Structure 1
Amino acid sequence: MNQDFYWVNPPQHWHREGDALLVTTDEKTDFWNDTWYGFKRFSGHFFGADVSGDFTFQVKVKAAFSALYDQAGIMLLADQDHWLKAGVELNDGAPAIGSVLTLGQSDWAPGIFPASADQFWMRLTRKGDGLRLQYSVDGKTWPLLRLAYFPADKQCAVGVMCCTPERGGLAVRFEDFLLVPALDKDLHDLT
């Protein structure tokens, strides 16, 4: 793991185990801006590194989701009003794979997660002003989760995030961090 990673809203309990990062979420943490709920939250845990230009970031996530809105995955962060978070989130008693893109206001795009959510992979590729977001249940096949616009002029950090808006205590293990030049694959190449 790159030593240039740093915390935004560090949790009370975290440690490194080799190249893995182990986190236990604090109580009532989240990232959200206004839409539907009418509140802003910027209390979630983010561990990232500054990036510029085009890149691909990938990570393996392990967690035991058990309460509404428990979530863990990846995040691209420019500032409190410009960010993307994506991963698994417990929603209506079942794990959902989804993303929240915030360009001033947040949106939420959840979908049914097609496997056990105790282990999964996330991948984000930034190419100019485009974001290609993928996930994997086996680390081999990478379906497209989202293709989105994100301002190319925004300086950003990329890394991992976890939140528990309804509680505290979600234990998350992030491993196999990979930050490399952008994988320039065809949009329908799922490798």
Structure 2
Amino acid sequence: MQEERKEAAEPIHLAPLPMSLRWEPPPKSWSAGDGSSLTITAGSKTDLFIDPEGTAEALTAPRLLGTPQGDFIVSARVTVGFSAVYDAGVLLLWAHERAWAKLCFELSPQREPTIVSVVTRGLSDDCNAFAVGSDHVWLRVARLGRAYAFHASVDGTAWRLIRYFAFDSAGDAAVGFSAQSPTGGECTAVFEDIRFAPRRLGDIRSGE
């Protein structure tokens, strides 16, 4: 059974997460299945990026966000219907429009599904990690006090460290889900096996 799309202002609840979530802005369409799944379709020209040269910015990608308390670990199996370059499914941290970070499963210009991370502190950076030979991958975000860690996994068991970082207002950051299609007509990302653990990650490097 699918939960029908609601108005953007109405709080949204996903069973694995202890906090309510909100859209800002809403997607082209979305649905929440039973248990721990979420489908997001982002419309055309949607992105989150503030160019390091300061020449362009886009804050148009839909984002479903909630603010947990204390240390936590959030993970999901992410499947993306890749079509255009930079289509992506995203786990997102969001403090405000000039302080946020995203862990993406993104189609590269070489047409390879790739793990990409962006950390924004006024301006964004952009870092590619590794290519994935599949249309799905596991992504994970962990909070450790005022710091955060991004990990990715091709099997949901062995995790690779992608980024370890902090940014201003990190203590107030929300966590959530996004999709983007900067160069295409739309992109659909499916988040399954969503998990939340209210604990501190034991080992940043090994991901345990």
With structure 1 as the length reference, what TM-score do the two structures score?
0.91
RMSD: 1.8
* Contact 1:7/1:45 (8 A) holds in 2: yes
CA deviation profile, 1:44-86 (whole Å, cap 9, x unmatched): 0111211233211111111121211111120000111000001
Match of 1:90 in 2: 107
Question: In the TM superposition, what whole-angstrom CA distance separates every residue of 1:117-150 from its partner, at most 9, and x where no partner exists?
Answer: x111111111122111101111111011111122
Residue 169 (structure 1) aligned to one of 186, 195, 204: 186
Task: Name the % identity.
Answer: 30
The residue aligned with 1:12 is: 28
Q: Verify the 8 A CA contact 1:51 1:155 in the aligned structure 2.
A: no
Once residues 127 and 165 of structure 2 are traced to their aligned partners in structure 1, the CA distance between those partners, rounded to angstroms, is 12
2:62 to 45, 53, 70: 45
Query: Which 5+ residue runs of structure 1 have no aligned equivalent?
Result: none
2:199 is equivalent to residue 182 of structure 1: yes
Distance in structure 2 (CA, Å) of the matches to 1:153 and 1:84: 10
**Correspondence 1:59-74 to 2 at 5 A:** 59-74=76-91
What amino acid sits opposite 1:108 in the alignment? D
SS at 1:185's partner residue? coil
Task: Report the TM-score, using the length of structure 2 for normalisation.
Answer: 0.84
Q: Which runs of 5+ in 2 are unaligned?
A: 1-13
Alignment length (residue pairs)? 190
The structure with higher relative contact order (CA 8 Å, sep 6+) is: 1
Q: What secondary structure is seen at the aligned counterpart in 1 of 2:26? A: coil
Report what 1:102 is aligned to: 120
Q: CA deviation at 1:37?
A: 6.7
| 1:21 CA drift (Å) | 1.1
Find the aligned partners of 1:39 and 1:188 in 2 and give their Cα distance. Answer: 34
